[in-house]
Structure formats: C-alpha cells, structure tokens
Amino acid sequence: MTTAVKVTGLKKRFSDVQALDGIDFEIPEGSIFGLLGPNGAGKTTAVRILATVHRPDAGTAEVLGYDVVRDPHEVRMRIGLAGQFAAVDPNLTGRENLRLMGRLAQVEPSYIPPRVDELLASFDLVDAGDRPVRTYSGGMRRRLDVAASLVQKPPVLFLDEPTTGLDLQSRQELWNTIRTLVQEGTTVILTTQYLEEADQLADDLIVIDHGRIIAQGTAGELKRQLGGTVIELTMGEGTDVDKAVSLVGAVVGREPERQGMLLRMPSPDGSHLLTQMLRELDDEGVQPTAVALREPSLDDVFLALTGHAAEEAEAQGNGRAS
Amino acid sequence: MSTTTVGTGRLPVVKRSALAKEYNDGRYMIERNLIAYKRVPQLLVFSTIQPIIFVLMFRYVFGGVVALALPPSIPYVDYLMPGIFVQTVVFGSLAAGVGLATDLKSGLLERFASLPITRSAVLVGRTGADMVRNIFVVILMFVVGTIVGFRVHTNVLGLLASMALVVYFGYALSWIFATLGLAVKDPETAQAAAFPILAPLVFASVAFVPAESLPGWLQPWANHQPVSAVVIAARRLVLGGPTASYVIEALIWCTVILLIFVPLGVRTYRRAI
C-alpha cells in the first residue's frame, strides 16, 4: 500500500503556544485517519500545515509524495479542505459557491456543472441550490461546506470537525458519504472531538494533547489497552458518595472518576471486581441505585490517557483552536 | 489551455500559462465579490446616499460661502464635483478592508489558501470588484452633479481622464485598506481604524474648499497630501488651466501607493490566516 500522508517531527509555535511539539504519523492511501483531542490540542494546526495553509517551524510533511513547503501548488492540486467553520460565501447561492470552488481548484470547465448538480443532490441541497447561502440553516451551510471541499474529487480530503453543529441524522449521512468516498479510493483525514465519530469511522487514529501524540492505534487497540470493561455505579440521593468513593477506590486500587452521583472506573477483569465492590459497599450500608458494566468508549480511553475528560478540556480550551 | 490528470479520481485540471492563471483566478474572485453587490443592493445604495447628501449639502448649504473665495468664472458646483468624485472613492476604499476581514473571520480565506490559486488572487478579486463599483459610483455622481448644475469646462476627454484618475486612486487606496483589514483581522476594527486615517485626508484637503480658506499651518499639508493632489489634477482636467504637472504628481502618488501596498498586502494576506 502506498502512503498518502507522511509527517515527521512536525513543530509549530504561535506566539505563546506550542501548538505542535514534534509529531510523526503516516497514513496509507484509501484509509480514514482520525486526529483526536480536545480544543487547542493541535489537531487543527496539523491539518492546516498539511493543507499548506500554515508552514511548519520544523519537521516535514508530505502529501502524496509532495512536500507541503517545497511544492505547495502540487499539494493543493490534490487535496480538499473543509475547515472548522462553514467557509462558504453567504451572498452566493449554493450552486455558485460550488462552481467557484471548482473553478479555483482549476477543474476543466465542462466538468463543473454536472459535478455541482451531483453534489447538490447527494448533500440534499437541490431545492436550496439557487438560494443565497445566508438563507440556509446551520446544518445546510455545513453540508455545503463539506460539498465544496469535494468539487474536484480530491484524492486526499481534510475534514476539520466536519460534524460540529450537525444533527444526528445529518451526521450519520455525512459518515456514509465519507465511507463511500473512501471506497472510491479517497484518503480522509478527520479531526474530531466526538470520540464516537472516530470510533465509527477511523481505521487508525492518534490522540493529541498539548501538541504531542499521546496514543495511537485503532479504536479497538486503544480500548483494549484500557482493559476489558468499564464499571459505572450510580449512587442514590442521600448516600454518602465520599464514602463510596473511598470504598470503591480501596477495591480497585485507584480512585474512581466521579461525576455528581456517578462513579466510573475501568475494570481489567470485568465482573469479578464488580462483585467484590458491591459486597464491600453492602457491608458498609452504601447502596448504589444503578449498576452498569459496559464496553469502554473512546471517552474512557481519553480520560485514562489525559486524566481529564474531552468535554472538560474543551471547556477549558480558549475558544478557537489554533 | 490543456487538460491533465493529477491523481486517482481527481477531475481533470486546466493547465494555464502563469499569466492566464493570474487573470482567471482574479476574474473568478472579482465575479464573486460583484455578486455580493448584486445580492445585497443595500451595500451600494448606502455607499451612494452619503456622497449624494454631500453634493446637496455643499452645493446648497455651504456653497455660497465657499464661492466667495473662488474666481467668479468658476461656479462652486464645478469646483466641488471633482472633490466629490475623490471623496466617494476614498470612503469606498474602506470596503476592501472590511470585506477581507469578514472573509478571514468566516474561514473563507483559509479555504482559499488551500486551493491552487495565485497568491494575489484574493486581493485582486477584492480590489478589482471595488474598482468596478467605483466606476459605477463615479458615473452616478457625475449624473447627480449634472442635475444640480455641474458643467465640464474642458471636453469629454478631460472628463474621462479625470474620472479614470479618480478610479485609479480609489484602486490604490483599496490596497491600503485591504492590507489594514488583513492586519487587524476584524471587520469592525477595520472600519474603526480607517476613519481616523481617512478624515484628515478628506477634510483637511482641497476637496471642498480652497487651501487659502484653511488656517496657515494646515495649508502645506492640504496642498500636497495625496487626496489633494488627486483632487487638484481631477479638477484641472475638467476645469482647464495648466494640467500636466498636477496629473503627473497625482499619478506618482497612486503608483507609489501601489508599489508599497500590493506586495505588503499579499504578504499580510499570507500571514493573516
């Protein structure tokens, strides 16, 4: 298999923030690669460097064999980018936006109108195609934005948080579109804060935090690293949650994560630990109202790796990721 | 123009010479910005109402006073209109900064930066569209002026040269404000930052009043700053009298501005994203 993207020792600093602090990865052609991490982790910076928008301070990045610094034009001929914002012109109609992107991507003119019709149809924008984009809903804009990155049928596609602001149905439709593109040979690089999304789509993924890769592999591998299952105990009103935390902590050997009345902890040996835990709690008269044993999600992976949840990190992040 | 393929599945690409590409990319961007004027006519209406009010105000309110300082052979409205042409394009040049800052905020410039277009296409598109708008607005002002009594003392050629000079000046100014808009990165800031630059250029000039009517300390500035240089040349072209040296001075101003701000603007654009 040939390599679509190759990144070595990539570093980028913005005045006071080290956005990327030396990252390496390789993406085989025709796969979906997930870049995961909280806001400000460096995902967007990595995408912008690969899409030739920013230049790296150090390290190299190649797209289909072309260096992003030495041959930016060749890279631009082969990529599509849907950035973090719905970057379409509000005064143009949907059709005009797509036509403009086709022209700027230097597509042979006779190929543009049929391609635009095709995209309007597959993104459910046929009826809205001749209306100015400023009359669109947020979800429609986002769909048009993704469509705009596909006009030239780019061999390598960058999607920076493509489903942010989409409802569940649109999100699933977009996932299907992405899967179809990959079947046709496109390589997709996807950043997301939705761990569920990476789980659903990505063949391989890296988790970035503070500009460094803190984990990589398939979603399955990452979950296995965490060990079998996750235990969740919901404590009822009036129970001594602090006491429950210390009791459970003593059994597991580490403090469980606490969210209000919910205690959560990974369990390498599944139900055995749970039984022991419940016996301890029962002896002390602390009764959980609900008990759950489930497969770990990437959220659990993220928590285990960084010590904080993805959502918390997002709240702490200072707005726009750079 | 020929077609080539660059990768699996990628739609065929048009190969153009560097010059043809520069032209095409710029033209697509100009078209894009002109569509905005068509779709949002308020943009154009409000940018023309203000100069029309200026014409009426100066012609009928202040005109009587200023006329006392002018030779009797020159009615104030004839003196005023070239100043109005220039004032119109000067305030219109703000749009480039506001427009580019808006595109930057919306993420459009990030997308453009990932496309295989020339480095200058985005700025050429913005300033080019504003030049088309300026041609329209200057013609409109000529019509409004004619209605309130403006007469050309030279000939049609003089009038066209005068308008062309004003439009060229507006184009040069658009590059200054394009650079400013990309430097401050925010549409409201771009608007706010421009006014303190523009006001002394337009009002402490000979656009509406002769230099002799200004305080002595202000006169050297008012006689030689770029807005005045262009106003004087535009005025000579329609009113007659010695013209060539004034036109040359005005052309030098415009060209120097472009020589500085075209490269600076393109650089600022690449760093802004």
**Vertex B206: Cα angle to B200 and B210 (nearest 5):** 130
Residues A185 and A153: beta-carbon distance below 8 Å: no
Give DSSP secondary structure letters for B7-30. STTPPPEEE--HHHHHHHHHHHHH
How far off is chain A from B189, nearest CA to CA, in Å? 19
Cross-chain residue pair B7–A78, CB shorter than 8 Å: yes
pLDDT given for residue A228 in this prediction: 67
Identify the weakest region by mean pLDDT among A72-76, A280-284, B106-110, B166-170.
Answer: A280-284
Contact residues on chain A for B3, CB-CB shorter than 8 A = 108
Residues A98 and A116: beta-carbon distance below 8 Å: yes
Best probe of the B interface among A152, A157, A184, A322, by most B CBs < 10 A, is: A152
B25–chain A Cβ distance below 8 A for any pair: yes
Bridge partner residues of B13 (DSSP): A107, B4
Q: Would you kindly state where each structural domain of chain A is located, as residue ranges?
A: 3-223, 228-295
How far off is chain A from B185, nearest CA to CA, in Å? 14
Q: Could you tell me which chain B residue has the CA closest to the CA of A153?
A: B10
d(CA A231, CA A281) in angstroms, rounded, equals 14
d(CA B11, CA A318) in angstroms, rounded, equals 39
CATH for A3-223, options being 3.40.50.300, 3.10.180.10, 3.40.50.12160, 3.90.1280.10:
3.40.50.300
Cross-chain residue pair B107–A86, CB shorter than 8 Å: yes
Q: Could you tell me which chain B residue has the CA closest to the CA of A182?
A: B9
Q: Which CATH architecture has domain A228-295?
A: 2-Layer Sandwich (3.30)
d(CA B253, CA A228) in angstroms, rounded, equals 74
Identify the weakest region by mean pLDDT among A132-136, A156-160, A166-170, B117-121.
Answer: A166-170
Bridge partner residues of A25 (DSSP): A7
Nearest to A201 by CA among A23, A37, A41, A35: A35
How does pLDDT run across A72-92, given as a tens digit for each residue? Answer: 999 999 999 998 888 999 999
Alpha-carbon distances of B90 from B35, B51, B199, B231, B232, rounded to whole Å = 22, 11, 10, 11, 15
pLDDT given for residue A319 in this prediction: 37
Cross-chain residue pair B108–A89, CB shorter than 8 Å: yes
Q: Would you kindly state where each structural domain of chain B is located, as residue ranges?
A: 18-60+73-272
Strand positions, DSSP E, chain B:
2-4, 13-15
Cross-chain residue pair A155–B9, CB shorter than 8 Å: yes
How does pLDDT run across B24-33, given as a tens digit for each residue? Answer: 999 999 999 9
Confidence of residue A322 (pLDDT cuts 50, 70, 90): very low
Fold matches, A3-223 and A228-295: no
Q: Could you tell me which chain A residue has the CA closest to the CA of B13?
A: A107
